[in-house]
Amino acid sequence: MARFTRRAFLGSALTGFAAVSSGHTPPFARSVLDPPLSSWAPTGAPDGLFLTWQRDPTTTVTVQWVGPRWSGEATVSCAPFPVAGTWQIAQVASKLFPGTSLSVYRAEITGLMPGSEYQFRVGSRPFTHRFRTMPARATDAITFVSGGDCGVNPHAVATNMLAAKQEPHFVLLGGDLAYDNGRSPETFLAFLRNYSTQMIDPVGRLIPLVACIGNHEVNGVVGAKREGAPAFLSVFDGLFRDTTFGTLDFGDYLSLVLLDSGHVAPVGGGQSEWLEKTLREREGYPHLFAANHVPAYPSARDPGEAGAENRKHWCPLFERYGVDAVLEHHDHTFKRTHPLKGGLKDKYGVPYLGDGSWGQLRAPAPLAKRPYLVAASHAYHLTLHRLEGASRFHVALEASGAVADVYGTKGKHPARRG
């Protein structure tokens, strides 16, 4: 994997970010002090409305919200945007939002055209919401935002707004979304409300959310049952039907492997066996990412106390099957490691990016005490990922919009079977 220089990257692939670093703000990287994007949200929208996926992101989308019991038949109607044409009707399923008298409503819209824009409306409400499907092939640049450890505080809100302004195709959050601890549905609903009103891009499209589980999703730190993550699994069990780990494949160009770092499923055993099979099957994908909550290579916690199970069971598989980057969280800092093999710097190794400071913050350890780290800082941040052909660019943005770090890789490294 070749490393791209910050200057070359800012000068070519993302000229807008060069404007950020020089104090000139492009349309897709505006300051969080601008008017909130929630002005796009129509009055009377269902509570906590957001989009996600259960299956193919190129031809489907799942609409979800939380609210009181629906009177009458609930439907979601969808049509192309801007020309309405024929409206497709999807039936809405509902179930109890745990710990409340509210319900979770879900409608999966299928049979959509890849790389297209659509509008939808809920029930008989006259207003519509917009979204776009993922392209079938990566002929143009694909962007997504990642981060973790959010919460519902003003720092998380500011990062939400910054993320939406990047106009990403989707957002990937690696655990600790609301800090409900499996016991506070009100807190989880507050997170959904924030996401619903703030995660709308500059042209008015809802931004789908993909997530994996963290320790603050469960009632207990490790080893909980599925019942210990009631709020999280009430909305993400469409993807995590039987397990708390899974995959999401985007056409033939991108695969996300979403892992449970011991919160419900043990790191070793069945999950590791599944991981090896899953990575082997996706080894040829141009872009292959893994995401999990607890980091294998922590930036704040003592690596002797955190991440040992990941390093034992997962990291050799990441290295063997050519994972392009691992997205880690939990430590509440910004961090980037060297490409690593066996914990040591190796040009054919795997970089680990994170470390989960969307809305929570902690001081990192000095770099001298973490030789696997290239960079770490005490800053709220998100990472913008941009896929262009065989190239991958990762830009860490602080809450102010300042560029904290730029890293790029290209192509696939040689297979490592040893």
User: pLDDT, tens digit, for every residue of 19-49?
Assistant: 333 233 332 333 333 333 333 333 446 889 9
C-beta separation of 262 from 223 below 8 A? yes
C-beta separation of 259 from 246 below 8 A? no
* pLDDT tens per residue, range 106-129: 999 999 999 999 999 998 777 899
Tell which phi-psi region holds residue 99, choosing left (phi > 0), alpha (psi between -120 and 50) or beta: left
C-beta separation of 128 from 80 below 8 A? no
The whole-number pLDDT of residue 411 equals: 87
Kindly list the strands in the beta sheet with 129-132, ordered across the sheet, starting from the edge strand earlier in the chain: 88-91, 75-80, 117-122, 129-132
The whole-number pLDDT of residue 45 equals: 61
- Its pTM stands at 0.89
The whole-number pLDDT of residue 29 equals: 33
**Dihedral angle sign, alpha carbons of residues 115, 117, 118, 119:** positive
Q: With a cut of 70, list the residues of the chain below it in pLDDT.
A: 1-45, 71-72, 221-223, 413-418
- Residue 26: other Cβ atoms inside 10 A: 15
CA proximity to 163, closest of 140, 185, 138, 146:
146
- b/e per residue, 33-45, with b = 16+ CB within 10 A? eeeebbebbeeee
Tokens read off for 325:
């980057």
- Residue 22: other Cβ atoms inside 10 A: 9
Indicate the CATH number for domain 138-410: 3.60.21.10
The whole-number pLDDT of residue 74 equals: 84
The whole-number pLDDT of residue 83 equals: 83
